[in-house]
Amino acid sequence: MSATTTQTAPSITLTSKAGGRAAIDGKPTNYGDFRDDLNRDGYAVIKGAVPRERANAYSDAFYSYLEGFGLGYDRNDPSTVRRAKLPVINEKGMILNYGAPHEKWVWDIRGEPGVVDAFAKVYDDEDLIVSFDVVNVGFANREDLPENKPWPHQDQDPAKPGFRCLQGLVNLNPSGPNDGGLIVCKGGHIHSEQFHKDMADEPRIPAWTPEWYGFTENGMQWLKDRGLEWVKVCADPGDLIVWDSRIPHYNVPTQTKQDRFAVYTCFMPVADVTQEDLIRKRDAFERRLGTTHWPNARHVGSNAAVRDGKPCPVSRERPVQDPVLNERTYKLTGIPYIKAEA
């Protein structure tokens, strides 16, 4: 039996207080670490959050995972970067199904001490839960894969201003200025509230959730008029990139031969979520379903991959390799925080 079993664990009583959370309001701070960058710019890079050797091993695991579908993809043969030879990957590079968010190597990344510690530092809280978010691949040589067009957005409901969510991704391959990866509108988080006041009458780009806001041409012009710049975030394998959900962002395709691999890792204090959230999250975990970046399992996905309108022949309900959780990663599922029913 793996450590992912959902046997009844004694529920945990929260003892930590969240009073020391990092300020993310753009006013000057002197933490002396990445929190100053995050506060000022709306994003930060935590260098070497995952040691290089393990980051390389995770990259290898990602390639092996893609090859393991048995559809014909071979990392050493760029001509095999074809839709038919790969699992279903959306145009943004996300693998949403197949239980991918719960593969062992994905959970191992979420549980990397340098990753969890960064979020614990921002929230001044060790009692965190993590999203069951997707993995992302941005292939070079993507001849017949759908085009990845810019979709500048915020991952937060404009009706709920202020800092609410810190997103993150662990970068697994070199990501230089011309490689694929995250691009952000530096400092945009500070201007978010005013933006939405000024742009209240701007027609909205349709969104599947109120927790997403897409920038129109007029919106992009507003940002430009304030002198805000778009910055491709460069990172080495093992670097953790964090960003305030309010910062306008999207990902860009690579212009080089370098594939982009990223695993999204978003944590929030369990103190911020309800018992109902935790029960929904437990259900998602038990069924090995993915979520969005919201660690409270605000949205829960499906493992059924659909290819050209039909079920993908290699669709699966469980990961290839079930996660092996330790005490800390088990807490990140939120399950130990579920209060025993009376």
155 binds Fe ion (CB under 5 A): yes
Check: CB of residue 192 under 8 Å from CB of residue 153: no
Tell me the closest approach of the beta carbon of residue 183 to Fe ion, in angstroms. 11
Which stretch in 135-143, 152-160, 223-231, 314-322 sits in contact with Fe ion by CB under 5 A? 152-160
Tell me the closest approach of the beta carbon of residue 235 to Fe ion, in angstroms. 16
Q: How far is CA 316 from the centre of its chain?
A: 22
Contacts of 243 (CB under 8 A, 6+ apart): 38, 42, 43, 44, 166, 167, 168, 182, 184, 249
One-letter amino acid identity for 54? R
Q: How many other CB atoms sit within 10 Å of the CB of residue 34?
A: 20
211 binds Fe ion (CB under 5 A): no
Residue nearest to Fe ion (CB): 155
Tell me the closest approach of the beta carbon of residue 321 to Fe ion, in angstroms. 27
DSSP readout, 12-52? PPP----TTPPP-SSS----SSHHHHHHHHSEEEETTSS-H
Q: Which is nearer to Fe ion, 155 or 277 (CB)?
A: 155
Q: Which is nearer to Fe ion, 155 or 239 (CB)?
A: 155
Q: Which is nearer to Fe ion, 266 or 297 (CB)?
A: 266
Which stretch in 150-158, 187-195, 276-284, 294-302 sits in contact with Fe ion by CB under 5 A? 150-158
Tell me the closest approach of the beta carbon of residue 268 to Fe ion, in angstroms. 16
Which stretch in 59-67, 151-159, 269-277, 333-341 sits in contact with Fe ion by CB under 5 A? 151-159
Q: Which is nearer to Fe ion, 154 or 315 (CB)?
A: 154
Task: Give SS3 for 112.
Answer: coil
Q: Which is nearer to Fe ion, 4 or 156 (CB)?
A: 156
Contacts of 277 (CB under 8 A, 6+ apart): 296, 297, 298, 334
CA distance 291 to 285: 10
Q: Which is nearer to Fe ion, 163 or 330 (CB)?
A: 163
What CA–CA distances, in Å, run from 117 to 110, 127, 264, 330? 11, 11, 16, 15
Which stretch in 95-103, 155-163, 168-176, 264-272 sits in contact with Fe ion by CB under 5 A? 155-163
Q: Which is nearer to Fe ion, 155 or 244 (CB)?
A: 155
Tell me the closest approach of the beta carbon of residue 84 to Fe ion, in angstroms. 28
Rg of the chain over all Cα atoms, to the nearest angstrom: 20
Task: Give SS3 for 152.
Answer: coil
244 binds Fe ion (CB under 5 A): no
What residue ranges bind Fe ion (CB under 5 A)? 155
